[in-house]
Amino acid sequence: MTDATPVPQGLPMERQCPFSPPRGLVELRDQRPVSRMTYPDGHEGWLVTGHAQAREVLANPRFSSRGDLARAPIPTGPMAEGTRRFIPRGALTRMDPPEHTRYRRLLTGEFTVRRMRLLEPMIQGIVDHQLDLMAGGDQPADLVADFALPVPSLVICALLGVPTTDRPLFERETRTLFSLDTPVEDRNDALRSLGAYLGRLVADKRANPEDDLLSDLVAGGQLDDEELATMGMVLLVAGHETTANMLAHGVFALLRHPDQLALLRSDPALLPNAVEELLRYLSVIHVGPIRTALDDIELNGQLIRAGDSVTVSVPAANWDPTRFPEPDRLDITRRSTSHLAFGHGIHQCLGQQLARVEMRIGFGSLLGRFPGLRLAVEPDAVPLRSDMGIYGVHQLPVAW
């Protein structure tokens, strides 16, 4: 290979701007959309940064999602190797068919476009309540703590049937799980604590069923308590942290692109399209998905050997100029639905239609309530989540 860009040693993570993908990823994509990458454990695997190639990997079931095969593309500490091989029953994101299919089909009926639309009044109520609290509080407010985190957290609590008084527990453990700096022992403690919590909740739902998703799954009788607790944990963790970061980082992006913000304010019908474009532009899933080749597979003229790890970069793929011209331009009128922010293939995000409704109502109502919304600090002072498994901002001080 004669390209100027060397084989990366682990996933390039260093950003030059709060919004654009790391330069190391962009340069690599423009030269080699499928590149060798040296994994932190010394494995010579692959990094996929092109949109078409990323789609191809994620659509091909011979690129396995099995967690026991996956290698981390960023350093995870010496003990991680032993713990990652254990995949609890019900951990559907880290499985292949047919196990994955069985678990997923028990959930997909609960997350349809129609079912999520029925949740709109409940979500609107939560959003309005948070906005009331914010409006009555001091300025500047932290949009993360006061709005972006509580909204999806309260929504997933209502949907699953999790008492909102337990939010401090699962939000804290989720933060520990997603911090890239968390020592492995602390990570395992957080997993154990969440697992025990969900176990208690499942037992409670079995004794006192209510009108919620977790009770429905218990009553369905197709899952044992271990599977129920694991699936409940996956839904709870995936359901709040991702959307929370989209909401806060999305507001940061809009405030830094006043022309787009003005356009959105002048024409709220653009909102669904703006949500798709923000999903593309921000690509908060910035580490993985990770796959492992089960066979020798040719990709983009290269031979991926059975056993090789393949890391897909969502930010790089979503900024691929061959798919999205001028990818660095936030353009809320652009048709962005082919973004890979929710993944692609059989593991594509189960909760994506819920996330869309939350973002539509969240962005729309926030902008409607605060016509003068503005950053309360210099843009450079906004702390970025480069140290977290899901990208975004740690805090977003705003005034109005």
Residues that bind other proteins (CB under 8 A): 58-59, 104-105, 108-115, 335, 337-338, 342-350, 352-353, 356
Peptide bond into 33 cis (omega under 30): no
CB 273 → other proteins: shortest distance, Å? 11
CB 115 → other proteins: shortest distance, Å? 8
Q: Does residue 11 come out as left (phi exceeding 0), alpha (psi in the -120 to 50 range) or beta? A: beta
- Alpha-carbon gap, residue 243 to 245, rounded angstroms: 5
- Alpha-carbon gap, residue 358 to 362, rounded angstroms: 6
* Bridge pairing between strands 297-299 and 302-304: antiparallel
Cβ contacts of residue 292 below 8 Å, gap of 6+?
63, 64, 66, 69, 70, 71, 307, 308, 309, 310
Cβ nearer to other proteins, comparing 45 with 364 = 364
CB 162 → other proteins: shortest distance, Å? 22
DSSP code per residue over 169-229: HHHHHHHHHHBTT--HHHHHHHHHHHHHHHHHHHHHHHHS--SSHHHHHHHH-SS-HHHHH
CB 297 → other proteins: shortest distance, Å? 17
CB 298 → other proteins: shortest distance, Å? 19
Q: Do residues 359 and 349 lie in contact, with contact meaning Cβ atoms separated by under 8 Å?
A: no
Q: H helices then E strands: how many in the chain?
A: 16, 10
Cβ nearer to other proteins, comparing 278 with 398 = 278
Please list the residues that pair with 304 across neighbouring strands: 297
Q: Does residue 392 come out as left (phi exceeding 0), alpha (psi in the -120 to 50 range) or beta? A: left
CB 92 → other proteins: shortest distance, Å? 12
Q: Do residues 69 and 292 lie in contact, with contact meaning Cβ atoms separated by under 8 Å?
A: yes
CB 141 → other proteins: shortest distance, Å? 32
Burial class (CB in 10 A: 0-12, 13-18, 19+), 168: exposed
Cβ nearer to other proteins, comparing 333 with 348 = 348
Cβ nearer to other proteins, comparing 17 with 118 = 118
Cβ nearer to other proteins, comparing 92 with 160 = 92
CB 322 → other proteins: shortest distance, Å? 15
DSSP conformation class of 381? G
Cβ nearer to other proteins, comparing 105 with 200 = 105
- Alpha-carbon gap, residue 97 to 64, rounded angstroms: 9
CB 174 → other proteins: shortest distance, Å? 24
Q: Does residue 266 come out as left (phi exceeding 0), alpha (psi in the -120 to 50 range) or beta? A: alpha
Cβ nearer to other proteins, comparing 58 with 382 = 58
Cβ nearer to other proteins, comparing 181 with 211 = 211
Cβ nearer to other proteins, comparing 117 with 200 = 117
